[in-house]
């Protein structure tokens, strides 16, 4: 008789897996760029991300959320946030890999695409600590609006040293950045901000007011919006001033959030807080929009990472779990679900990497050398920096809207593949599920991004950039061609398109993903994606791909 207390039919721990080498979709998205498909740095990140050591730090960082310390034992105001050691371990690795701002000072080929792939891989370990990493990356292009401020801050922002000491920037080996835009009364409508900025000379201002959401309050410097005499303006606000004194920065409380619990989000008040104007007075939104664009890219990367990690967990479990006479992964119904999750994840990865590649090209630091996948074309090759900037302008809100919006559905389905085991915290799936809605909310929710798509479409060069992507595969699949025609028909009445903005954004994003999969993925993946997402041969929920779909081929590609 079998021992009723013996542990059987449970999946072994998922550890010792290289997240980079097992991800064929990522490899194919990188292969057009010389050397990146075999990049040793990405190999190192993937190896550590899939290690037992990394997994051991992910849950403790979330189970022990940050703690606010407003005063020291003597009553002095300190406004500091304490983190669990696992948080600091995660941060030290991310900074050491250069995932914060290193690409901005790098002279290697495709630095932003390389960083994007690393951020995608490392975010699969624990997504919360990605916030200060992302904010630091995003601060640099905005800081370049002022040569003096950029010279002061960018070298330390780009440093690969994780330095938590509370010191002036000149005395630190590395610094991190945050952002303060939204207020109680306005939210996304930042022009309704009430925080004031009074000039006191030499580009220095005193800020008075509040921020309802201040990201990563433990970091060294913030980009903040406030009302100057000539309108809403952007300011650089350090935590410690050059003379070593603390800048008034009163943390009121930390947000008690649905997810993202390892990361500190705060409410802050400014009382005579010193800020240095970045850009012209009245140009605050135009100045900080560079930071917003970069963080939106990281929202897409982070959501793609959540999708990928959820997919890997689902396939791993079902390949080791027996039910009803065989492995779950061998059951046709489960194979349909897993294959559907796999093509969703691959489409998200392909679009995220294409966007990151556009950052390199649009900043005149595009891919060098040859190589190739699919038809051998390098995405964006031969296009000017202006053309790739136009592509980013339209593709970024499309991707932010669609990839981030799809992630909660996808993670929920992956969790269900584990059944009750997936609902238990130790599995790690609840952490992913709580995190999954966040990227759709941060840096502009669904409506904001859908409306940004409409705004971009009013610039002819943005539509031309999208059409250029579609032209690269014109005639390759009649179903995709028909979907492109549907988009063009919808655009005939662009001036009255707001009510249908989400529908249009979704279709344009799907067309873009379909074109990338046709070019760089396998025929099985591309055909299943186009048939289900664009040709209406789909039930609308995961696991309803056409019965003729080659499920084993797709799953072998997803996790060999």
The yes-or-no verdict on residue 180 having pLDDT over 60 is yes
More confident of the two residues 381 and 173: 173
292 lies in a domain? yes
Question: For position 188, what pLDDT does the model report?
Answer: 80
Same domain flag for 83 and 118: yes
Ranges 188-202, 367-381, 413-427, most confident: 413-427
Q: Can you tell me the distance from the alpha carbon of 269 to that of 250, in angstroms, rounded to the nearest whole number?
A: 5
- The residue among 238, 254, 281 that closes a domain is 281
Same domain flag for 409 and 422: yes
Q: Can you tell me the distance from the alpha carbon of 274 to that of 295, in angstroms, rounded to the nearest whole number?
A: 25
Instruction: Please report how many Cα atoms fall inside a 13 Å half-sphere around the Cα of residue 23, on the Cβ side.
Output: 36
Q: Can you tell me the distance from the alpha carbon of 464 to that of 76, in angstroms, rounded to the nearest whole number?
A: 58
> Cβ of 523: how many Cβ atoms within 10 Å?
11
Q: Mean per-residue pLDDT for 94-120? A: 96
Q: Can you tell me the distance from the alpha carbon of 132 to that of 375, in angstroms, rounded to the nearest whole number?
A: 38
- Provide the number of structural domains found in the chain: 2
Q: Mean per-residue pLDDT for 482-505? A: 93
- The residue among 233, 253, 281 that closes a domain is 281
Reported confidence tier of residue 245, pLDDT bands at 50, 70, 90: very high
Same domain flag for 317 and 216: no
Reported confidence tier of residue 384, pLDDT bands at 50, 70, 90: confident
Reported confidence tier of residue 443, pLDDT bands at 50, 70, 90: confident
Domain harbouring 529, CATH code: 1.20.140.10
DSSP state for residue 247 in the 8-state scheme: P
Determine phi and psi for 273, rounding to 5 degrees: -75, 135
Instruction: Choose the weakest-confidence range: 7-16, 50-59, 431-440.
Output: 7-16
Domain harbouring 256, CATH code: 2.40.110.20
More confident of the two residues 8 and 138: 138
Question: What residues form DSSP beta bridges with 207?
Answer: 197, 273
Same domain flag for 319 and 190: no
Same domain flag for 268 and 314: no
Tokens matching residue 402? 């669609």
The yes-or-no verdict on residue 379 having pLDDT over 80 is no
Same domain flag for 330 and 243: no
Reported confidence tier of residue 367, pLDDT bands at 50, 70, 90: very low
Q: DSSP letter string over 101-165?
A: SGGGG--SSSHHHHHHHHHHHHHTT-STTHHHHHHHHHHHHHHTTSHHHHHHHHHHHT-S-----
Q: Mean per-residue pLDDT for 90-94? A: 98
Q: Can you tell me the distance from the alpha carbon of 287 to that of 293, in angstroms, rounded to the nearest whole number?
A: 11
Tokens matching residue 481? 């061609």
51 lies in a domain? yes
Q: Mean per-residue pLDDT for 202-226? A: 95
Instruction: Choose the weakest-confidence range: 90-94, 153-157, 165-169, 288-292.
Output: 288-292
Residues 90, 126 contacting (CB under 8 angstroms): yes
Residue positions counted in the chain: 560
Same domain flag for 292 and 421: yes
Question: For position 53, what pLDDT does the model report?
Answer: 96
Q: Can you tell me the distance from the alpha carbon of 82 to that of 268, in angstroms, rounded to the nearest whole number?
A: 16
More confident of the two residues 156 and 369: 156
What mean pLDDT value characterizes the chain? 93
Question: For position 496, what pLDDT does the model report?
Answer: 83
> 199, exposed or middle or buried, with CB in 10 Å at 0-12, 13-18, 19+?
middle
Reported confidence tier of residue 377, pLDDT bands at 50, 70, 90: low
Q: Mean per-residue pLDDT for 527-536? A: 96
> For the CA atoms of the chain, what is the radius of gyration?
24
DSSP state for residue 240 in the 8-state scheme: B
Q: Can you tell me the distance from the alpha carbon of 256 to that of 152, in angstroms, rounded to the nearest whole number?
A: 34
Q: Can you tell me the distance from the alpha carbon of 168 to that of 200, in angstroms, rounded to the nearest whole number?
A: 21
Q: Considering only CA atoms, which of 233, 224, 231 is closest in space to residue 273?
A: 224
Question: For position 480, what pLDDT does the model report?
Answer: 98
Question: For position 376, what pLDDT does the model report?
Answer: 42
Same domain flag for 295 and 410: yes
The pTM score is: 0.95
Q: Can you tell me the distance from the alpha carbon of 249 to that of 267, in angstroms, rounded to the nearest whole number?
A: 10
Residues 140, 126 contacting (CB under 8 angstroms): no
Rounded to a whole number of angstroms, the distance between the first and last alpha carbons of the chain is: 36
Same domain flag for 239 and 299: no
Reported confidence tier of residue 389, pLDDT bands at 50, 70, 90: very high
77 lies in a domain? yes
Q: Considering only CA atoms, which of 134, 146, 166, 237 is closest in space to residue 195?
A: 237
Question: For position 3, what pLDDT does the model report?
Answer: 86
Instruction: Choose the weakest-confidence range: 51-55, 149-153, 538-542.
Output: 538-542
- Domain span at residue 547? 286-364+383-558
Reported confidence tier of residue 378, pLDDT bands at 50, 70, 90: low
Same domain flag for 275 and 292: no
Same domain flag for 177 and 306: no
The yes-or-no verdict on residue 218 having pLDDT over 90 is yes
Residues 6 or more apart from 106 whose CB is under 8 A from it?
98
What percent of the chain lies above the pLDDT cut of 70? 97
- The residue among 239, 256, 281 that closes a domain is 281
> 495, exposed or middle or buried, with CB in 10 Å at 0-12, 13-18, 19+?
exposed
The yes-or-no verdict on residue 371 having pLDDT over 50 is no
212 lies in a domain? yes
Q: Can you tell me the distance from the alpha carbon of 123 to that of 438, in angstroms, rounded to the nearest whole number?
A: 14
468 lies in a domain? yes
The yes-or-no verdict on residue 366 having pLDDT over 70 is no
The yes-or-no verdict on residue 79 having pLDDT over 70 is yes
């Amino acid at each position: 008789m079998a021992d009723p207390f013996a542990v059987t039919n449970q999946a072994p721990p998922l550890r010792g897996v290289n997240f980079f080498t097992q991800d064929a979709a990522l490899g194919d998205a990188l292969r057009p760029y010389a050397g990146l498909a075999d990049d040793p740095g990405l190999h190192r990140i993937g190896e550590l991300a899939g290690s037992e050591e990394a997994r051991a730090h992910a849950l403790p960082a979330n189970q022990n959320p940050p703690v606010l310390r407003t005063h020291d034992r003597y009553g002095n105001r300190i406004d500091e946030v304490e983190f669990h050691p696992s948080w600091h371990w995660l941060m030290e690795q991310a900074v050491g890999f250069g995932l914060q701002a290193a690409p901005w000072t790098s002279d290697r080929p495709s630095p932003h695409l390389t960083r994007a792939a690393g951020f995608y891989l490392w975010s699969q370990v624990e997504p919360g600590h990605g916030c200060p990493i992302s904010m630091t990356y995003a601060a640099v292009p905005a800081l370049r609006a002022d040569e003096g401020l950029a010279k002061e801050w960018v070298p330390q922002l780009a440093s690969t040293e994780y330095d938590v000491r509370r010191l002036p920037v000149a005395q630190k080996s590395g610094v991190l950045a945050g952002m303060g835009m939204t207020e109680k009364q306005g939210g996304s409508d930042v022009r309704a901000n009430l925080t004031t900025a009074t000039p006191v000379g030499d580009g220095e201002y005193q800020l008075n007011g509040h921020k309802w959401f201040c990201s990563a309050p433990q970091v060294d410097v913030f980009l903040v919006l406030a009302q100057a005499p000539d309108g809403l303006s952007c300011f650089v606000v350090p935590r410690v001033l050059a003379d070593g004194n603390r800048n008034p920065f009163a943390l009121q409380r930390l947000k008690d959030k649905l997810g993202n619990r390892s990361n500190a989000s705060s409410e802050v008040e400014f009382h005579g807080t010193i800020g240095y104007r970045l850009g012209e007075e009245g140009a605050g939104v135009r100045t900080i929009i560079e930071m917003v664009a970069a963080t939106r890219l990281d929202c897409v990367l982070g959501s793609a990472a959540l999708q990928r990690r959820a997919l890997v967990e689902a396939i791993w479990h079902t390949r080791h779990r027996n039910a009803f006479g065989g492995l779950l992964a061998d059951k046709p119904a489960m194979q349909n679900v897993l294959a559907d999750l796999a093509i969703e994840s691959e489409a998200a990865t392909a679009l995220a990497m294409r966007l990151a590649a556009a950052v390199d090209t649009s900043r005149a630091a595009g891919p060098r050398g040859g190589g190739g996948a699919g038809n051998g074309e390098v995405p964006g090759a031969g296009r000017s920096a202006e053309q790739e900037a136009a592509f980013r302008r339209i593709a970024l809100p499309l991707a932010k809207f669609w990839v981030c919006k799809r992630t909660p559905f996808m993670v929920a389905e992956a969790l269900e593949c584990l059944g009750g085991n997936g609902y238990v915290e130790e599995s790690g799936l609840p952490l992913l599920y709580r995190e999954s809605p966040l990227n759709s909310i941060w840096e502009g929710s669904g409506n904001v991004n859908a409306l940004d798509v409409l705004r971009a479409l009013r610039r002819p060069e943005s539509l031309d950039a999208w059409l250029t992507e579609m032209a690269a595969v014109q005639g390759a699949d009649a179903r995709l061609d028909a979907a492109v025609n549907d988009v063009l028909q919808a655009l005939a009445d662009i001036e009255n398109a707001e009510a249908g903005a989400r529908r249009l954004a979704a279709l344009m994003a799907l067309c873009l993903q379909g074109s990338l999969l046709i070019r760089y993925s396998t025929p099985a993946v591309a055909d299943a994606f186009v048939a289900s997402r664009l040709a209406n041969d789909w039930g609308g929920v995961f696991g309803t791909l056409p019965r003729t779909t080659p499920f084993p081929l797709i799953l072998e590609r997803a996790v060999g």
